[in-house]
Amino acid sequence: MSIPFTCSFEQDPCGWQDISTSGYSWLRDRAGAVLDGPGPRSDHTHGTDLGWYMAVGTHNGKEASTATLRSPVMREAAPTCELRLWYHTASRDVAELRLELTHGVETLTLWQSSGPWGPGWQELAVNTGRVQGDFKVTFSATRNATHRGAVALDDVEFRDCGLPRPQASCPLGQHHCQNKACVEPHQLCDGEDNCGDRSDEDPLICSHHMATDFETGLGLWNQLEGWTRNHSAGSMVSPAWPHRDHSRNSAYGFFLVSMAKPGTTAVLFSPEFQASVPYNCSLTFYYYLHGSEASCFQLFLQVQGLNTPPDPVLLRSHHGELGTAWVRDRVDIQSAQPFRILLAGETGPGGIVGLDDLIMSNYCKLVPDVSTVQSCSGSEALALCPQTSMELPLEACEPGHLSCGELCVPPEQFCDFQQQCAEGEDEHKCGTTDFESASAGGWEDTSIGRLQWQRVAAQNRKLARDADRDVPGHFLSLQKAWGQLRSEARARTPALGPSGPRCELHMTYRFHSHPQGFLALVVVENGFRELVWQAPSSSSSKGWTVEKVLLGARHRPFQLEFVGLVDLDGPGQQWAEVDNVTMRDCNPTVTTESDREVSCNFERDSCSWHTGHLTDAHWHRVKSHSSKYDHTTGQGFLMFLDPTDPPARGQGALLLTRPQVPLVPKECLSFWYHLYGPQIGTLRLAMRKDGEEDTLLWSRSGTHGNRWHQAWVTLHHQLEASTKYQLLFEGLRDGYRGTMALDDMAVRPGPCWAPKSCSFEDSDCGFSPGGLGLWKRQSNASGQAPWGPWTDHTTETAQGHYMVVDTSPDLLPKGHVASLTSEEHQPLTQPACLTFWYHLSLRNPGTLRVHLEASTRRQELSISAHGGFAWRLGSVNVQAGQAWRVVFEAVAAGVEHSYMALDDLLLQDGPCAQPGSCDFESGLCGWSHLAGPSLGAYSWDWSRGATPSRYPKPTVDHTLGTEAGHFAFFETSVLGPGGQKAWLRSEPLPATTASCLHFWYFMGFPEHFYKGELRVLLSSAQGQLAVWAQGGHLRHQWIQVQIEVSNPEEFQIVFEATLGGQPALGPIALDDVEYLAGRHCQQPLPSQGERAPMSVPIAVGGALLFFMFLVLLGLGGRHWLQKQPCPFQRSTDAATSGFDNILFNADQVTLPESITSSS
């Protein structure tokens, strides 16, 4: 395969330059650099916010502006040259996108679009055509007063652009060009400059070919009706109109286009020819199909010279949307009788059918005196011209409808998996086939390259047999084709759907290829292509393999597409073949008992839950294995989301129920979830109803440790006959370092108990404000909140939510109380700790009181203090043998512009820890592992040795000394560019003159090669102060540390895992952190498993000896290097990165000169 010229913008712009003339311009950017912006959340190359792309930012002006990005100068593109790129925008963001090519004095429009555009990154592939000399490509985005203009561009790639290299001699059978290049015999006189010097199109070689390029007229050809000779310059009468012809690759070149109305046929017919026996008469031609899936181009052969001419014979048929390229095809005709060729085009709504460069080979001889024919009319037309539409009786259905019995089935009910006709005619040609019928189940080849899908008989291939019988049969096979463009072959069904969630495709296949080849099944829906299956690359068996693929619930219309690529000319046998395709359980109206099962442990199947589509990230029902373990038994099944299997570019994955009918006004949904990894993202639950926006019910972000957690959500229903709802879980990835899992769903009538945790991100968690309802749930996303913190505690962003009460005297006079009461919590079987984060205004708001309410009500906590800019942690111990509630009371102080806020309530087993302390047995206590707001930041995690994990960690904790004990840990191997540290932060602690921090740490780095570092920082409003650091490769032991701590103002303790100057691979773990406020550290005695502090004189002496050793080593190394050539020395004249001028030469890119590119 040829080596393409690509640019991912990871290192520099590769010579691409912004040539905009306004403030609306392109720059190299990445998502992590601009938070909460309108652009993409990740690049396309890596799928994270660490990757780079080219982007234009929003522009606030009202005038129309265009941002233009220009490529470096390039030279000599071959006829097969294809430009592929990925762009990201939304319909509201830009008015028009345009891709243009400039060579000489002409600028060609390769592609333009005014939308609508789908979400996420979209792929664009266009053919440049043959370009002689220098050329440049520009990508431009136009915005206006109603479009903000946010656009991004990534992964630009030129494929198959190189001309053939000169060779001293050519392989047998190939043609030697004047420039010494070699081309295939079928490339001679085909209307394209394949040699690069046009010697393969030399008039001396091609003088006996009859070519019609429509530059001056129709030539030998005659038209019956519907075809118009035209060009592109100033003639764009339709968005689908060709931007250039094929002959000259110019907007000023002429071609034929079909102007026939949809439903009628444009016919072009040849003079009468006679093939030179024993040779074939060949017709090479270029056709264009764009703008409509309903467009069709057909080529017929009609034998002449008989008393009753037979009906025309169909030799070629091309349907659908093939893009903006001119596609080559060729037919070889061997006939003892004279014949005519008929070219018929039928346009669908908004579609264009085009023709250019009709070339008859030198073995096609005109029949004397019959070189011209009168226009078809009357009975002669029936004999000469094909009837591509079926003649219907007068009482038949409307055009396009199917008549079966007394029914007229409209086209939107074709292939909807619901049989309308008694014999099922409306569901024929809908994908299900054994390929024994010539209709092939409706599968049609839509290839435009050197391969095509063909229905072939088994006896045509050695070793091949039909998949379900011993006798030879038919199947779908990859074969050579005459197309000149992209290599992969495609076969597509008609429009299908809607389908039900259990819809599956069953098939048998044979596939054998070298690593570059592949066989895949793709779903095409709303312009989005979703890969749903790919044959394993190790499929080398010569036998047939049975496969089934879940397609699931999809809207109409969608199409299925087999995509394949093998090298049929390569060494050894290669093949890709498909047979016995069956669509099963696709009727969306058929329901089973399991379709009503929201409660599910996933052991038998997925019940009513099914995966969503239009993204390449998917939930999968998997069996427990290694680090994947279910909640039900630890060895059963679960729903699992891993963004690396396969690597996903899409941001989210959906898991939905079938539409459900509510039976009671309130139901309680409980489920178990598992969020684990240093860069996992967000899991959220929503309710969906037709015609309404999704209602967010619950969400969790970031890692929650390597364990299962239970959650409850109360579902509120309106009991109406027409009301149905769906539940959907959406997993939104941040990067690729982490997994999500769900298990053991259960629904029961009635409301849930109060949740054990509440972040207020999705709801008020059932809290009810008493009295005047002064407590409110809010965020400061608009920046216009009249009171409250600037950011919440959960996400530390203005978009996050919290509960807040305005304690200003006009709303809450001095001494008055505003209460906030939870729902009932279930009785506790052991003591627990309720923690919450509170924020008090700088002006004294009053007193925050916390009460527990069961059979009686008692006050547990009272907080009276001036506030600040930080969220602070509060906690109360809870013991309740019966149902109970928590009540927060705000007692006003009568101060203007004051408030109190609450966030992140959490109920954990065990007594509350002291501030800054934690043994990690029940969780992280008051320590926060929140990652930074960008996608590239990483989080500390929480686990135990006994739990399976994909990340290395200690086998035992320090607290219990067993594998059942818990600890905090971080796997340093995830660190790299853009994410070189991870923080574990304490709650805010008061100023201190002398306190002691005592903790145990563990490092598990392989010796000599890898090194991570653990640091302790004190973070305050004045900045950060490092008070301790340790790096190394200590293995399999917990080490004790004591640190004297003093700080003149409120501060946080930060444990920072970072790189120690080398690549790091291994875990850093923490346990038994204890903060002793107001107490000096006591010097511990050295003991087994502990390390005593090193004395200062010994440490200084050792450091001096080590320094002297390094000096001697450096002097010796310098003396040795002076005697050696310097293999790594860079010349000051070395080429810098980027491209200024690129020459395509068999896709080996040569850089004649270079420029210094800036990023």
Which of 1084, 1115, 1133 delimits the end of a domain?
A: 1084
**Mean of the per-residue pLDDT values for the chain?**
83
Residue type, 885: R
Which tokens in the block code for residue 949? 């994990």
Pairing of strands 52-56, 65-70: unpaired
pLDDT at 287: 96
pLDDT at 38: 61
Q: Lowest mean pLDDT: which of 114-123, 311-320, 587-596, 1037-1046?
A: 114-123
**Distance from C-alpha of 287 to C-alpha of 278, rounded to nearest angstrom:** 29
Note the pLDDT tens digit of each residue in 120-138.
888 899 999 999 999 999 9
Q: Lowest mean pLDDT: which of 25-29, 712-716, 938-942?
A: 938-942
Note the pLDDT tens digit of each residue in 275-301.
887 788 999 999 999 988 889 999 999
**Distance from C-alpha of 641 to C-alpha of 621, rounded to nearest angstrom:** 9
Q: What residue has token string 């199917």?
A: 402
pLDDT at 718: 85
The region that residue 335 occupies, defined by phi over 0 for left and psi between -120 and 50 for alpha, beta otherwise, is beta
230 and 88 assigned to the same domain: no
- Helix (H) or strand (E) run with residue 437 in it: none
Q: Lowest mean pLDDT: which of 55-69, 198-212, 244-258, 553-567?
A: 55-69
pLDDT band at 335 (very low <50, low <70, confident <90, very high): confident
113 and 88 assigned to the same domain: yes
953 and 1060 assigned to the same domain: yes
The sign of the torsion formed by the CA atoms of 588, 636, 747, 655 equals: negative
C-alpha closest to that of 1070 among 1059, 1056, 1081, 1083: 1056
Output the domain CATH number for residue 711.
Answer: 2.60.120.200
C-alpha closest to that of 56 among 155, 124, 149: 149
Contacts of 108 (CB under 8 A, 6+ apart): 100, 101, 102, 243, 244, 249, 250, 251
Question: Is 83 a residue whose pLDDT tops 90?
Answer: yes
Note the pLDDT tens digit of each residue in 947-985.
887 777 888 999 999 999 999 988 877 776 556 788 999
pLDDT at 386: 35
Q: Total structural domains in the chain? A: 6
Distances (CA, A) of 749 to 656, 664, 666, 715, 1144: 20, 7, 6, 10, 69
Note the pLDDT tens digit of each residue in 898-932.
999 999 999 998 999 999 999 999 888 989 887 65
**Distance from C-alpha of 564 to C-alpha of 576, rounded to nearest angstrom:** 7
Return the higher-pLDDT residue of 799 and 892.
Answer: 892
Contact 285, 358 (CB under 8 A): yes
Asked if the structure places residue 212 within a domain, the reply is: yes
**Distance from C-alpha of 675 to C-alpha of 971, rounded to nearest angstrom:** 16
State mean pLDDT over 714-721.
Answer: 84
pLDDT band at 1004 (very low <50, low <70, confident <90, very high): confident
Residue type, 145: A
State mean pLDDT over 8-17.
Answer: 93
Asked if the structure places residue 545 within a domain, the reply is: yes
**What is the percent of the chain where pLDDT is above 90?**
50
Return the higher-pLDDT residue of 1060 and 916.
Answer: 916
713 and 603 assigned to the same domain: yes
Asked if the structure places residue 772 within a domain, the reply is: yes
Beta strands (DSSP E) in 750-807 are 757-758, 768-769, 776-778, 802-806
Most distant pair of Cα atoms in the chain: their distance: 117
444 and 517 assigned to the same domain: yes
Asked if the structure places residue 1148 within a domain, the reply is: no
Burial of 1133 (0-12, 13-18, 19+ CB in 10 A): exposed
* Strongest mean pLDDT among 244-258, 392-406, 1005-1019: 244-258
Taking residue 861's Cβ as centre, other Cβ atoms within 10 Å add up to 16
The parent domain of residue 53 ranges over 5-159
Considering the entire predicted model, what is its pTM?
0.73
pLDDT at 262: 74
Asked if the structure places residue 96 within a domain, the reply is: yes
Question: Is 394 a residue whose pLDDT tops 60?
Answer: no
C-alpha closest to that of 75 among 5, 176, 125: 5
Contact 709, 672 (CB under 8 A): yes
Return the higher-pLDDT residue of 1125 and 118.
Answer: 118
pLDDT at 538: 62
* Strongest mean pLDDT among 18-22, 223-227, 561-565: 561-565
- DSSP type of residue 1114: H
605 and 474 assigned to the same domain: no
785 and 891 assigned to the same domain: yes
**Distance from C-alpha of 465 to C-alpha of 458, rounded to nearest angstrom:** 5
C-alpha closest to that of 241 among 228, 231, 254: 231
Burial of 449 (0-12, 13-18, 19+ CB in 10 A): buried
pLDDT at 58: 66
pLDDT at 626: 78
Asked if the structure places residue 717 within a domain, the reply is: yes
**Distance from C-alpha of 380 to C-alpha of 374, rounded to nearest angstrom:** 10
State mean pLDDT over 476-496.
Answer: 91
Q: Looking at 645-800, list the stretches that DSSP marks H as alpha helix, in order from N- to C-terminal side.
A: none
Which tokens in the block code for residue 934? 């960008």
Distances (CA, A) of 618 to 225, 518, 639, 654: 51, 21, 10, 7
State mean pLDDT over 805-834.
Answer: 93
- DSSP type of residue 89: -
734 and 855 assigned to the same domain: no
* Helix, coil or strand: residue 119: coil
**Distance from C-alpha of 323 to C-alpha of 83, rounded to nearest angstrom:** 13
Contacts of 769 (CB under 8 A, 6+ apart): 775, 776, 805, 818, 819, 820
Note the pLDDT tens digit of each residue in 467-481.
555 556 899 999 999
Q: Looking at 236-387, list the stretches that DSSP marks H as alpha helix, in order from N- to C-terminal side.
A: 378-384
* Helix, coil or strand: residue 237: coil
Asked if the structure places residue 193 within a domain, the reply is: no
Question: Is 708 a residue whose pLDDT tops 90?
Answer: yes
1025 and 980 assigned to the same domain: yes
- Helix%, strand%, coil% for the chain, nearest 5: 5, 40, 55
